[in-house]
Chain A
Amino acid sequence: MSKLLLLGDEAIGQAALDAGISGVYAYPGTPSTEIMEYVQHSKQAAEGQVHRSWSANEKTAMESAIGMSYAGKRALVCMKHVGLNVAADPFMNSAITGANGGLVYLIADDPSMHSSQDEQDSRFFAKFAYIPVFEPSNQQEAYDMTYDAFAFSEKYRIPVMLRVTTRLAHSRAGVAKKESLPQNEVKLCDNKKQFILLPAHARVFYRELLAKQPLLEKESVESKYNQYIDGSDKSMGVIVSGIAYNYLMENYVGTKCPYPVLKITQYPIPTQLVARMVNECETVLVAEEGYPLIEEQLKGLLNAGKPVKGRLDGTLPRDGELNPNLLAVALGLTDTYGADVPEIVAPRPPALCLGCPHIDSYTALNQAMEQYGPGRVFSDIGCYTLGALPPYNAIYSTVDMGASITMAKGASDAGLRPAVAVIGDSTFTHSGITSLLDCVVENTPVTVFILDNFTTGMTGGQDSHALGRIGNICKGLGVAEEHIRVITPLKKNHETNLQIVKEELEYQGVSVIIPTRECVQTLKKKLTKK
């Protein structure tokens, strides 16, 4: 069969469908978004009636998938690395319950923070939960590992993490497809207590999880995905994980790496293979895309063994993503470089689109805040985070999904008045609702802007759970109706909107302003479709 030209993300989506999943659960987040989008556009998914709607957030997504696994069917959950923080509760505990139908957690990390607020390495989370990880180095492996991960999950009755990073998620290459498997039938687990984590049960299941660890490590040692490639020069051995393998090999195109290479793409770490390398080589270089997980363990607290080079001793940078040039330097090879970027080349940061409704919201807010001074507006994660940049300079925080409202509450509790939150519609239903409830219960003086552009904008315009619901959600939470102010953010309404914002900033209780106008990008897409 001819190869399909797929993004890493798309390869994962196709493999999951071919592995017979019955559902994908996800919340959009770069660089994981394209997996769900691929499945949503797939004819195969439609024919198999595979669940493929977005969830409210990563926690609800993962819990739904655990429910599907409980019922005996295969489920894929997709999120970006910081989404796993939101889903940490079901994530950790599902390691204890274990899986019934194959359960795979796809976590897309973003080293170098191309579109994220941190570069946390999800392999640490998997180690924390004691679950196995597959970390593909290329698009074909992304396909093959996803395909295999469901059966692996069912064999050991454990959730499996698939970890990718931005470069693989968003890079295209040819991928060969395998045979499509049928979906599982509904089948409950034999032990009807498996998902009841009462302490008395959980203690038993936790010991079972610990007892699986040597078996999982044996799998890692024997795995076709973990390869020991011998080399003649034993002065150094090289351990590479995931995509770092490609950057190593880029330095040996048309020739062979003289050093023994251990490619690790399945975890727990295959200790036996690592031991062989340490025994046979004088030094070890470790190259990992992310935090130094393997390197730290190899070095140990006392660093008493053979010399280990990598991110911790400065052989490779301590942070950020790797590339072929960094590996060349670490290997002592000649680095290559073109010419410097001319000084006249100015930075071109992302910006709000021409005609974006957020521009009008920020213009009104900025003018209303003039009399109070800077530092009183808390914001959130989305396109409107760009309000932190010139010419707006409108916001003073962006920490995590939903934090704008609760940080404004805490600042208000501390006496900072007015305290303002700016949050998008999709972010509000992701994690802002409980924050607003906290404010309502104490009637904390805060002014909350919920920017309703009918979509999840930053990730490319996915459906938002908030659509048509925000006013009623606020009412239901107990926000006084006269302090729920819906405005239309347009230049021609500026004076009216400014007046409304000023009034609500003076109100000593919970008020919500909902600037409502469709995202210009989704509007444009709709118009071109017509």
Chain B
Amino acid sequence: MTAPAWLKTTGFYLLVGIIVLQALFPFYYAVLTSLEDGQALFEVNYLPAVFDLSNYRSMLSDGVFGKQILNSVFVATVTVIISLFLAITASFALARIRFRGRGLLLLTILSVSMFPQIAVLSGLFELIRAFGLFNSLWSLVFSYMIFTLPFTVWVLTTFMRALPIEIEEAAIMDGASSFTIIRRIFVPLLWPAMVTTGLLAFIHAWNEFLFALTFLSTDTQRTVPVAIALISGRSEFEVPWGNIMAASVVVTLPLVVLVLIFQRRIVSGLTAGAVKG
């Protein structure tokens, strides 16, 4: 007994529809709300009724918000660059060089990501004060590596292990130093993996809230997730939903653009042809 074909097809598209709806509706509603102003905000509608950019104008002319976006861009970008550099050199050692305690070290790296942020928060706060990084963007770069490094190191180590060792040996015979091998052989071959992990690290750093709230104290240093949460109205009874939604849409766009750019770069099967294939 099998269900008729049309039922299967309908069921399939129904499920797809539900998944798409639950993924996209919140963002759609944010965009919709951000384009409305004043009283229109409080009338529930699911189709665009008005097209009003005043929320965006007031957000961006605010002065601080532009600076806050730059803060976020700086923190996320620097975190990704440093993480990838450390991860690729670390994974070279972890994947290719035999040394005592390698397995233990890999497990330790993974276990770093095991602790909830809130559990390490106070200790980390002390550390950041001791380094004199409080209210500096470097405090975030430093602390975000707690969660970006474990998975970048792990993913890149796995990818590097999958590369045929003979390619590396050929490079050794060709007279390349370890650093040249990493730069000229591994980085180009691991590029898809680096793009993917780099993108995930960027998104994570871009969205992070708790550390950003704790380690930064002034408005001009804040990153956008915290800044948006702290947007307040003229009185304590007013929540400026329009502005909040406009800001949310603005900070989402860079991520969407990044994903769209890099998805084309994630070319699989780049290593095909290295060895018999």
Q: Is the A/B pair a real complex?
A: no
Give the interface of B toward A (CB within 8 A): none
Contacts from A to B (Cβ < 8 Å)? none
